[in-house]
Structure 1
Amino acid sequence: MSKTLAVVGVLVALVGMSVVAAPEFAMAPARDKWTAQEVSTIASMRLKEAGPLSPEPSNAYERRTDAAAFGRALFNDTRLSRNGQVSCASCHSADKQFQDGKPLGEGVATGKRRTMPVMGAAHSPFLFWDGRKDSLWSQALGPLEDAAEHGGNRVRYVRQVQTHYKEQYQAVFGPMPALGKLPEDAMPGGTEAERAAWDAMSEPSRDGINRVYANMGKAIAAFERTLAYGESRFDRYAQATVAGDGRGQEVLAPQEVRGLRLFLNKGQCVTCHNGPQLSDHAFHNTGVPPLNKAAPDRGRADGVKKLLKDEFNCLGRYSDAKPEQCGELQFLAADDPHNLAAFRTPSLRNVAERAPYMHAGQFTTMEQVVRHYAASPKAALGHSELARPGEKHADRQAIRLSESDVQDLTAFLGALTGPVVQAK
């Protein structure tokens, strides 16, 4: 036999061996059985289903790396506060899931609501618990002038940009407008003295200040949109389930799988916590007890009114969008009774790392949250969307969970934790 034929014979033998050995490495049959509808729902919850972020038409600078670098500097600058000690990062800390772990946000004073995380915020059409902002850049402006958060005013902030960031600003947004002689402190809201100083300014000066101020928000948004959730064990389980990969499904423990079944079915969690961000980005009244029973938080009911009057909304003069690109804003109903005491559905991604919970930190553990939904208490203000036992409800059934169900569902929520990632 020639050497060539011998080599060919060896290769054939090896190929034959590999063919025989291949089944050993084939995917194992599915460990957990799901209906076709359940598989479809699980597949839709995978993080990768979010795809790339859609452009925000009201911010023409959001994808520029120089804008993000400028925004990151602003995000971490404590000089952008009344006492020189508070920055965006004070409440949105990188080592705490870009939130603060406190029941109520704490800036120069204590706020009235829980700090929401930054990751994934660019996917939501409305920001804050009450949805009073309709873009990430407009949202970034709110805390700067809030008396309990940064406690400053836009004229003082523009002075800071002129002094410390003029070169970075102009590299992104072009020459700063001619602002003339500015008062020390001024803004449309705030103290009586600040309002009077603002009213005394010329219209071109006020417009120039607003333009620079809006651009500060657009730069901060360019940075914040680079922050995202990474894949969790649930995402790997979902991918294995779609592929019918039994070994891949082992990434979740049996208790966590039981919790997922509850999440999709008896617990009715997926009704609001759906899609790749595990949020419908809508507003719901679920009977969460108010901190102040004498004056319950009105939530979305007041948030809509603030949004429609906001000079920095999508339809405002400082937006880069065309009016037809602001459809959601144009069709908002300011008097919808369902908005009363309704709050935005937060993402459940990384939720186990973000105690306490709800819009004012009313619950300290995830288990307490699950028990709240099972109890379905009446709302202190407005009407809860949750069905109560024996109550006729058009859209829901009463949530009935056993003690083991509560434990299983809580265990599953822990499987939604993944890394925080930042786009390059």
Structure 2
Amino acid sequence: MTSAPARAARRRLLQVAATLSVALVTAGVAQVRTAPLRDPWPAEDVATLAAMRLTQAGGRPQDPSNAYEQRTDAAALGRALFHDTRLSRNGQVACASCHAADRQFQDGKPLGQGLATGRRRTMPVMGAAHAPFLFWDGRKDCLWSQALGPLEDAAEHGGNRVRLVKLVQAHYSEQYQAVFGPLPALGPLPDDASPGGTDAERAAWAALPDASRDAANRVFANMGKAIAAYERPISYGPSRFDRYAQATVAGDGRGQEVLAPQEVRGLRVFLARGQCVTCHNGPLLTDQAFHNTGVPPLDRARPDRGRAEGLRKLLQDEFNCLGRYSDARPEQCGELQFLATNDPGQLAAFRTPGLRNVAERAPYMHAGQFSTLDQVLQHYADSPSAVLGHSELARPGERHAGRQAIRLTPADIQDVAAFLGTLTGPVVQAR
């Protein structure tokens, strides 16, 4: 079953293609057809390139579950929390430790490193406001809820809920109340208590009155909403590819010179026999869906279940869009309400990462399995069988619904890797 994000991405692509087709039949067609293009493209590829321009991303979609995401005072509080190492058990780990502004808002490591080593690669913050699901397994459905997970994760911040709430009381009370209003009545709280964490922390949490737990949850959720307000405007800036795509759509042959011939060859492979655009489409070059492509697990004896496990966690999460700490109405949580929970294709499937700035974000895949883009492309050319679940990739000689085997020569791989380098642009943090 095709996921809702994938269907939406295809609809957007078809809409842009239809709009461009109309344009080609109107007065602009003469310019597109007669301009001295260095690199001619068929109309369907021009439509695809048009849809891939960063300008087509539009404004950041509003998250109805976070009523504070566009407030500058919330973003200021979120920025302070994002960089505060006191939110970790050892006082040395902040959100910015793994999402560093000078490293593409990630850490450049195969696996995230906080108090301990995590199970997966750190994902960048840029463009996260456009994603319907967060993390490699999609276990969060909103940016503010995503921000909460690492705070209590034993391998990341290793914090516990009551200690985090007390930190807000002690150090951020004035900023918090300027955004969210008076701190709720928390009552007497132990030093450490959390629904996760150690046995003692869980027992202390269970012993709290319902009203105290709810009040602590409310402050905790608002911490996430403030961090999301800070993260929301962090985005990608235009790249050389965007200038090339715009020049191609406009019929500007001189503008096409922004890409070298090898990079254009790589783009042609990307759109055609490489089949990369099947999943890496749209302005952020992701269908926002989940796929099993046979990426080898780090531990073959205990392979990562990916989206199949992430779905379970998402539906049980008290901080999801339908939860009591969300600001959304139930009808505004459509993505969550219409999830396919019995799709075998979700087993060992992982979220399609966007490819913008990808050349600056080695290593690759959900656990940093590949060091270079050449290795990633060779993986798709080899199309190995999945250790867990079933790979969507077709193998040579295999009958496969909707796909053909990916056949890439060594020169193709070098060309596509060169094209991927053209997707690098600035990281934009301004609101």
Q: Which residue of 1 aligns with 2:29?
A: none
Q: Which residue of 1 aligns with 2:15?
A: none
Q: Which residue of 1 aligns with 2:24?
A: none
Q: Which residue of 2 aligns with 1:224?
A: 231
Contact 1:293 / 1:380 at 8 angstroms: preserved in 2? yes
- Counterpart residue identity of residue 327, structure 2: D
- The gaps in structure 2 that reach 5 residues or longer are 1-33
**How far apart in 2 are the matches of 1:48 and 1:185?**
47
- Counterpart residue identity of residue 66, structure 2: N
**How far apart in 2 are the matches of 1:56 and 1:113?**
26
Aligned partner of 1:387 among 373, 394, 397:
394
Q: How does 1:76-95 map to 2 (within 5 A)?
A: 76-95=83-102
Aligned partner of 1:287 among 276, 283, 294:
294
- Counterpart residue identity of residue 234, structure 1: F
Matched, 1:372 2:379: yes
Q: How does 1:317-396 map to 2 (within 5 A)?
A: 317-396=324-403
Q: How does 1:172-321 map to 2 (within 5 A)?
A: 172-321=179-328
Q: TM-score, normalised by structure 2?
A: 0.92
Q: TM-score, normalised by structure 1?
A: 0.93
| Moved segments of 4+, more than 3 Å | none
**How far apart in 1 are the matches of 2:93 and 2:124?**
17
Matched, 1:142 2:149: yes
- Counterpart residue identity of residue 268, structure 2: R
Q: Which residue of 2 aligns with 1:17?
A: none
Matched, 1:156 2:163: yes
Q: Which residue of 2 aligns with 1:53?
A: 60
**How far apart in 1 are the matches of 2:262 and 2:78?**
43
Contact 1:28 / 1:247 at 8 angstroms: preserved in 2? no
Q: Which residue of 1 aligns with 2:13?
A: none
**How far apart in 1 are the matches of 2:138 and 2:310?**
6
- The gaps in structure 1 that reach 5 residues or longer are 1-26
Contact 1:129 / 1:344 at 8 angstroms: preserved in 2? yes
- Secondary structure (helix, strand or coil) at the match of 2:46 reads helix
Contact 1:103 / 1:360 at 8 angstroms: preserved in 2? yes
Aligned residue pairs total 398
**How far apart in 1 are the matches of 2:430 and 2:339?**
33
Q: Which residue of 2 aligns with 1:106?
A: 113
Shift of 1:422: 1.2
Shift of 1:42: 0.3
**How far apart in 1 are the matches of 2:135 and 2:193?**
25
**How far apart in 1 are the matches of 2:102 and 2:228?**
19
- Counterpart residue identity of residue 374, structure 1: A
Per-residue CA deviation, residues 226-257 of structure 1 (Å, 9 max, x unaligned), is: 10000000000000000010110000000000
- Counterpart residue identity of residue 293, structure 2: T
Shift of 1:333: 2.4
Q: Which residue of 1 aligns with 2:22?
A: none
- Secondary structure (helix, strand or coil) at the match of 2:235 reads strand
Aligned partner of 1:168 among 167, 175, 196:
175
Shift of 1:334: 2.2
**How far apart in 1 are the matches of 2:88 and 2:383?**
41
- Secondary structure (helix, strand or coil) at the match of 1:348 reads coil
- Counterpart residue identity of residue 186, structure 2: L
Shift of 1:154: 1.1
Shift of 1:28: 6.2
**Identity across aligned pairs (percent)?**
78
Shift of 1:268: 0.2
**How far apart in 2 are the matches of 1:324 and 1:153?**
32
Shift of 1:335: 2.4
Shift of 1:180: 1.0
Matched, 1:72 2:79: yes
**How far apart in 2 are the matches of 1:151 and 1:292?**
24
Matched, 1:96 2:96: no
**How far apart in 1 are the matches of 2:410 and 2:345?**
32
Structure number with bigger Rg? 1
Q: RMSD over aligned Cα, in angstroms?
A: 0.8
Shift of 1:115: 0.1
- Secondary structure (helix, strand or coil) at the match of 2:380 reads helix
Shift of 1:329: 0.6
